[in-house]
Amino acid sequence: MAFKRFYWLQQLGIGSRLFLAFVMISSITIVSSGLATNTYLQLSDRLMLLKHQDIPGLDAAARLNDKSRLIVATAPLIVTSDSNVSRNQAMDTLNIAIKDMDTLMRNLPDYNRYFLELITQIQNNLTLLDQSVERREVIRRKLTQQSRLIFPLFQDLIIKLKRLEQTPPLEEVIHHLYYFAGLIEKVSNDASFNELDYTFLRLESMAREVKVRLPYLPQIPSARRQLLSQLLDMSSRQGQLFLLKDEELDLLYQQSFFLENSQQHIQQLAAQINQ
């Protein structure tokens, strides 16, 4: 049956058979060329997509990771810098890095509002951190001025009290004043609200004990009593010393919060970039 189906081929001459063979070969060549052309066009489209979308996106992601590491490394310098110049330099570096990050993120294919909010949060936290550090520097200078006033006042008072007629109540007052001055000096080193509260509880207690003994010290003239009262008033929680130190500690906690918050946002941004 198959022999009969192709019987007509036997009726063809040599020329016809050669022509038919060439036609078949040409057809195969045309089909192969068409498939090759289609494959080439698809590959070309993918390469163009890679060139114009994937490669810029990958490059932007890599550079964003570099910028995020720079911000993480530089942000603590705002707090630890020992001068305004170095702190301002660190802040300038951060602002440039944040601006570069915003520009680079726009090259990402899935750039959206979430990225914009993250970069805004990072910038806001770093700005607030810088402002908090500046304010804390002002408070530190005021506390230093307070300390410079306290020691001469204490020293002058002790010298004048020792020149008076010495009695047991007066000696107790002088001992209390030494302890009182030590607690005043301790205030500058208090690193938490609990420590500050404890110090001022002791200061208030010492001030009360001194004031209780004053009626038994008639040898202290009014000028010395006024000087003593001025020193004891520093133990008040409504006094400038307590208020300044309390604000300094509050600013210190703010700085920790702003720094940690900015680094968390940077980590979130890095996680989104690497997805």
* pLDDT tens figures, 197-240: 999 999 999 999 998 888 888 888 888 888 888 888 888 888 88
Report which of residues 29 and 206 the model is more confident about: 206
Give the pLDDT of residue 204.
92
13 lies in a domain?
no
Q: Is residue 195 part of a domain?
A: yes
Expressed as residue numbers, the domain containing 183 is 142-254
Q: Does residue 171 belong to any structural domain of this protein?
A: yes
Q: Is the pLDDT of residue 53 over 60?
A: no
Summarize the confidence of residues 31-40 as an average pLDDT: 63
Whether residue 173 lies inside any domain: the answer is yes
Q: What is the chain's length?
A: 275
Query: What band does 23 get if pLDDT is binned at 50, 70 and 90?
Result: low
Query: Is residue 93 a contact partner of residue 69, using CB atoms and an 8 Å limit?
Result: no
Q: Return the pLDDT at 12.
A: 57
The answer to the question of residue 51 being in a domain is no
Tally of domains within the chain: 1
The answer to whether residues 247 and 139 touch, using CB atoms and an 8 Å cutoff, is: yes
Q: For residue 37, name the pLDDT band (cuts at 50, 70, 90).
A: low
pLDDT greater at residue 254 or residue 75 = 254
Q: Per residue in 217-229, pLDDT tens?
A: 888 888 888 888 8
Ordered alpha helix ranges (H), the chain:
2-5, 7-10, 14-49, 55-80, 84-105, 113-162, 168-187, 193-213, 222-232, 240-273
Burial (CB count within 10 angstroms: exposed 0-12, middle 13-18, buried 19+), residue 132: buried
More confident residue, 173 or 62: 173
On the 0-12 / 13-18 / 19+ scale of CB atoms within 10 A, 76 is middle
Question: Is residue 6 included in any domain, yes or no?
Answer: no
- Higher-confidence residue of 6 and 238: namely 238
What average pLDDT does this structure show over 82-94? 85
